[in-house]
A and B are shown apart, each in its own frame.
Chain A
Amino acid sequence: MKTMVYAKRNFKELMSDPLSLIFTIGLPSFLLVFMVMLNDSLGVNDAFKVENFVPSTIIFSFAFITMFSGMLIAKDRSTAFLMRMFISPLKAFEYILGYIIPLLIMALIQIIILYTIGFMIGLSFTINVLISIPFLLLIALLFIGIGLLLGSLLKDQQVGPVSSILIQIVAFLSGMWFSLDLVGGLFKQIGYVLPFAHGVDMIRLILQGHYIEMLYALWIVSLYTLVSIILSIIFFKKNMKE
């Protein structure tokens, strides 16, 4: 109950910033429509086919969750508000859930909106779309963990620039704009050391119904998610003691 009260506050804080809505939903929606339609006309790249670009755009949109969640936590840390919260009867796990729950809701809204736009521009509705949603939320959890980590470690003015680097990494090393196989070499190797390309692959494979083939990507994404959440909890709790 107390967790939900705090979660509601965090959701309001996130939603009250029009920039967060523009970047988490507006920009990815525009990119999705623009690139798919451009590709339909010019046949630029397979990565922009609607069945490929919807998953990568959703994952790209999660990178903005990292930015805004990191900024919210870092800002809370810089004011006495979090001190007031730490003195309250809320327990450490209730704070952390209080941040995670509204961010997962935000991610779900992104998924629903971007899939809906996807259907409007040619994506077929199959059971695989519904099956992909919990896996997308797992990926969202990875980005939330990174956001909590950045928010716990950095000052609020530092979160923006560092998150921008993450957004660029997701854009270029996830296979969103072009297949990493096409580039190959070190670029591809780095891409597959990180979890983002695995996340895109996983959702694309699920949409194609290739459940066995996606297990390796699921394993990598799960591992990174677990590590990011554990680290964020450790550093968040460390902040509480400081």
Chain B
Amino acid sequence: MIAISINGLTKKYKERIAVDDLSLDINEGELFALLGFNGAGKTTTIKLLTGLLKPTSGDAHIFKKSIVNEINDIKPILNISPQESAVAPNLSVFENLVLIAEIYGFKKEEAINKAYQMMEKFGITDRKNDKAKKLSGGLKRRLSIAMALITDPKIVFLDEPTLGLDVRARRELWHIISELKGKTTIILTTHYLEEVEALADSIAIIDKGKLKIKGTIEELKTSTQKDKLEDIFISLTEGDATL
């Protein structure tokens, strides 16, 4: 089943087209990696799909509901871990988790149980009562990702989730993400191509808001006649990078 169907999605600003006539489908339960240089339009695409921005033209359907007209019906099944850690600084780790669960409609007791599960899963139980602002960058990011997953979203957007994580934390997160595959549709943006190779079922490379290629790693290799994802990525975006 198709979870997300994007049709001609376009976002124009005064002098710039951030997302240019993007069309693609994402299957339910797959891990879909959205690749591109900085400024390629990845985050804008995520903002459009989550209802933070209105498209200039085009539409996308999430489980057959339009992001333009039915975004309020879609919101309860989405969650996000933004590029920047998104935590309430003066709330504790535990309070942050319970807050998000309750805002997504979980009852207090259920929210508390889920908060304990998430703290265990992300190895932050010992920091339960620490205020989020006291956490290191890596721990804040782990908390931010835990806040994205505590609501059992059907679709989760992970915008550069492993940025700032050490090697061990990154591997642990890969493991958690792998466990979600099949149950949750994951849209991942990252600059770490080895992460994509390890995790992604399907990949799209966008550049200057335009879709350059989409498919499995094998399909990409076949159609570009290149063996490495890095070579594929560079060849499709070469010379156009906004660094």
Interface residues of A (CB under 8 A from B): 2, 5-6, 9, 12-13, 16-17, 79-81, 83-91, 241
Contact = CB atoms under 8 A, between A and B. Distances in A.
Nearest to B54: A241
Contacts of A79: 84, 86, 89
A113 to B, nearest CB: 22
A241 B76 CA distance: 18
Contacts of B177: none
Nearest to A94: B103
Interface of B: 50-54, 72, 75-76, 78-80, 82-91, 95, 99-100, 102-105, 131, 144, 147
B84 A80 contact: yes
Contact of A88 (B88, B90, B100): B100
Top 4 nearest A-B pairs by Cβ distance?
A80-B86, A80-B82, A84-B86, A80-B84
Contacts of B95: 9, 12
Given A5-B99, A9-B88, A9-B91, A89 B82 contact: no
B99 A84 contact: no
Contact of A84 (B54, B72, B82): B82
Given A2-B103, A5-B99, A91-B72, A86 B86 contact: no
Given A80-B84, A80-B85, A87 B75 contact: yes
Contacts of B75: 87-89
A239 B52 CA distance: 10
6 contacts: A2-B102, A79-B89, A80-B86, A81-B89, A87-B75, A88-B103
A176 B86 CA distance: 42
Nearest to A87: B50
B103 A13 contact: no
A177 B54 CA distance: 50
A89 B52 contact: no
Contact of B78 (A16, A80, A87): A87
Contacts of A13: 88-91
Nearest to B50: A87
Contact of B83 (A6, A80, A241): A80
Contact of B104 (A12, A86, A88, A241): A88
A43 B105 CA distance: 59
B102 A81 contact: no
Contacts, number: 69
A89 B76 contact: yes
A9 B100 CA distance: 10
A86 B84 contact: no
B116 to A, nearest CB: 18
A60 B31 CA distance: 55
B79 to A, nearest CB: 7
Contact of B103 (A6, A12, A17, A80): A6
B52 A81 contact: no
Contacts of B88: 9, 13, 81
A80 B83 CA distance: 8
Contacts of A89: 72, 75-76, 103-105
A241 B53 CA distance: 6
A224 to B, nearest CB: 31
Contacts of B131: 16
B103 A5 contact: yes
Contacts of B76: 89
Given A6-B99, A12-B95, 9 more contacts: A5-B102, A12-B90, A12-B91, A79-B86, A80-B85, A85-B103, A86-B51, A89-B72, A90-B103
B90 A86 contact: no
Contacts of B72: 89, 91
A62 to B, nearest CB: 22
A184 B102 CA distance: 55
A69 to B, nearest CB: 14
Contacts of B79: 87-88
A86 B52 contact: yes
Nearest to B157: A87
Nearest to A84: B86
B99 A17 contact: no
A2 B103 CA distance: 5
